[in-house]
Chains A and B, each alone.
Chain A
Amino acid sequence: MPLKILAVDDSKTIRMIVKKAFKAYNCEVIEAENGKEGLETASKEKPDLIILDITMPVMTGPEMLEELKKDPALKETPVIMLTAESGKENVVQILKMGVKDYMVKPFKGEQLIERATKIVTLESKKGEEKDPAKRYFSIVEDLQVLTLPQKFDRPASVEIERYFKLKVEEMVNTEIKKFILNISRVGGTNVTLIRLIIMVIQSCQKVNVGIRVVGTSALRDELKGFAETSEITVDLSIEDAKGAL
């Protein structure tokens, strides 16, 4: 049975961020736009965890929490409060309300997961690699290989960039001085891909790491159409790239 997480926030943006944060886990994220809707949904769905915003129209987070505590069936449901206000008095007020934890916006999805795992047990979905870096990076002989996923979009790019920076630091301190950026699986070019290719090439050059790009002939032709990547040589196999390094 997946865990039920109820996200109560008047901002669709925040609800989407919460939803994405729990995407890799065996969870069902249910949404509500205000405290009143949140109470109704909580009564019906009996969530395992509630992520609750403070300032909302119709019924605020603290008002919903007060009602929740009066309901014998829901009073033990753990709540993580979200607030845009980090002031001392605000934090003290939140803790007095009897919530399990609180998060000050802005926050990253990973930070929310970190807090949630202290309260509930999150299980990774089958097939989801627990270490995201291993989904993209691998060592082949004396080479570091970064393989981009088929759906290469902005969230994937942000995640990959974060791990890439760490890999570059690692390469500076190890014997691995060759890097292959494998874009063969990527479904098509987009601005995010172009930006990442340029960033990877420039970063490798900066630390004297040899870099080659591996892709399909279709991707090679598409890259020629962008001013930023028109001069890049694309090898058609890892073997070709290894030979060129």
Chain B
Amino acid sequence: MSDINTVDLRGFVSGAMNEVFDTMLSMDLELAEEGVQANVAGERIVGSVGFAGKAVGSVSIQVNDAFARSITAAMLGMEEDEIEGDEEVHDVIGELSNMVGGDLKSRLCDGGLDCELSIPSITTGSDFRMETKGWERHERLVFRYQGQFALVNVYVKTNG
């Protein structure tokens, strides 16, 4: 079984984000250097999936409203003004977090850290902060695409 402290979380998540954005959205993401602040202020949306088993944790993707709409239009093959409502945007961001979380979950399972994936959840708003405690690992990755940012947070710990 892999040691959670040596698992290449950054590599796994960055690979999954690039593959998902390239395949589904034809967007070439650029991973920012560690420590770069993501400008996702204002109205924003967070798509998250959790996993539980020998490894417990979550993967969340946070983008601002404008980028979320660009992503939705690209995913559904339409123009932004054709988006019918928030439901479509939420579904797309949820599905992205499901794909990235699914990839990480698979890699953890392949390393002996068996776990199950949850259904995606969505948080929206402009005035909220995410605080978490008690994790063994936390990775924060910032991606850029044409002046927009996607912030990914990964929290993991071993169970028991």
Contacts and interface: CB of A to CB of B under 8 A. Distances in A.
A11 interface: yes
A53 to B, nearest CB: 10
B103 A84 contact: yes
Contacts, number: 80
Interface string B88-125: 10011011001101110111011000100101000000
A154 B72 CA distance: 11
What is the predominant secondary structure among interface residues of chain B facing chain A?
helix
Given A13-B92, A55-B117, A106-B99, A158 B26 contact: yes
A13 B99 contact: no
Interface stretch (B36-44, B73-81, B129-137): B73-81
A87 B102 CA distance: 9
A80 B34 CA distance: 40
A89 interface: yes
Interface in B16-65: 19-20, 23-24, 26
Given A20-B77, A154-B78, A11 B109 contact: no
Contacts of B79: 153-154, 190, 192
Contacts of A85: 102-103, 105-106, 109, 117
A87 B108 CA distance: 9
B144 to A, nearest CB: 17
Interface in A75-103: 83-90
B119 A57 contact: yes
Nearest to B111: A87
Interface of A: 10-14, 16-17, 20, 55-57, 83-90, 105-108, 153-155, 158, 161, 190, 192
Please give me the 10 A-B residue pairs with the lowest Cβ-Cβ distance, nearest first: A84-B102, A87-B106, A155-B77, A106-B23, A87-B109, A85-B106, A85-B102, A106-B24, A13-B95, A106-B20
Interface of B: 19-20, 23-24, 26, 73-79, 87-88, 91-92, 94-95, 98-99, 101-103, 105-107, 109-110, 114, 117, 119
